[in-house]
Amino acid sequence: MKRCALVTGGSRGIGAATALALAARGYDVAITYRSQRLAAEGVAAEVERLGRKAVVLQADLADPARAREVVREAADALGGLHALVNNAGYVQRMPWDEISLEDWNRMIGVTLTAAFITAQVAAPYMMEAGFGRIVNVSSLRALTGSAHGVHYAAAKAGLLGLTKSLALALAPHGITVNAVCPGFTATDMNREVLEKRGDEIRAQIPLGRAAEPKEVAAVVSFLCSEEASYITGETISVNGGIRMG
């Protein structure tokens, strides 16, 4: 059966690994990037090597109009939409009392508002197809809080509330909505932190290492699969045991 997915922020890291994992599961995949076009095209070429169609779309998801548009472009280019992975994100480490309203609004916009908008536009395609999977990539920080990224942690926690609420709203249509909370994952996002404080961080992780992006992608792509049909409204941590329960 034809399956089409949109992965936001699919040019690098967890999003790139997710695009490949979805392609391996038989999905044609559209990925978005903000500025790294070449990286996105590299991921698309890998998706095509797996025998699936790939579409590359530019979108700064701080712009709600663009968030809305890019879902339609993905569905038009792929010929439908069965899975949406809201993965795009960024961190901004700073003391909480130095976060400006602009910083706050941008973080909420890219992380939370964009996920709401993309789900709103994607759901009708899924209803039409009679199959739908939405996965929101949240964070360990949604569960623990973060003194150095208050807006990041708040936006990621909001994503968990959005996940449960959409799961309730979309269950009657057979669309599942889940969240994944990665812990420390070896991507560009925290390369610097892992270089500077790697030993200290690894010492706090029961499995003793950061995750590889593909270890997070495996869970995201499973949640997008047929087999995950009875899981909805859940938050699954992929964190090496650094926070349990």
Ligand X SMILES: NC(=O)c1ccc[n+]([C@@H]2O[C@H](COP(=O)([O-])OP(=O)(O)OC[C@H]3O[C@@H](n4cnc5c(N)ncnc54)[C@H](OP(=O)(O)O)[C@@H]3O)[C@@H](O)[C@H]2O)c1
The residue ranges that bind ligand X (CB under 6 A) are 9, 11-15, 33-36, 39, 59-62, 87-90, 110, 137, 139-140, 182, 184-185, 187-190
How far apart, in whole angstroms, are the C-alpha atoms of residue 241 and residue 33?
30
Distances (CA, A) of 36 to 20, 56, 150, 221: 17, 11, 26, 23
Instruction: Please work out, in degrees rounded to the nearest 5, the angle formed at the alpha carbon of residue 84 by the alpha carbons of 207 and 163.
Output: 70
Q: Nearest residue by C-beta to ligand X? A: 13
Minimum distance from CB of 28 to ligand X (Å)?
19
Closest CB to ligand X among 15 and 158?
Answer: 15
Sign for the CA dihedral angle at 14, 60, 40, 233 comes to positive
Strand arrangement of the beta sheet that strand 54-58 belongs to: 54-58, 27-33, 3-7, 83-86, 132-137, 175-182, 235-238
Whose CA is closest to 67, among 115, 124, 11?
Answer: 115
Closest CB to ligand X among 131 and 159?
Answer: 159
Closest CB to ligand X among 58 and 174?
Answer: 58
Among the listed residues 27, 33, 152, 230, the single catalytic one is 152
Any idea which residue has 């709600």 for tokens? 64
Closest CB to ligand X among 131 and 146?
Answer: 146
Minimum distance from CB of 146 to ligand X (Å)?
10
Minimum distance from CB of 188 to ligand X (Å)?
4
* Tokens found for residue 103: 């910083």
Minimum distance from CB of 180 to ligand X (Å)?
8
Per the annotation, the verdict on 152 as an active-site residue is yes
**Residues identified as active-site:** 152
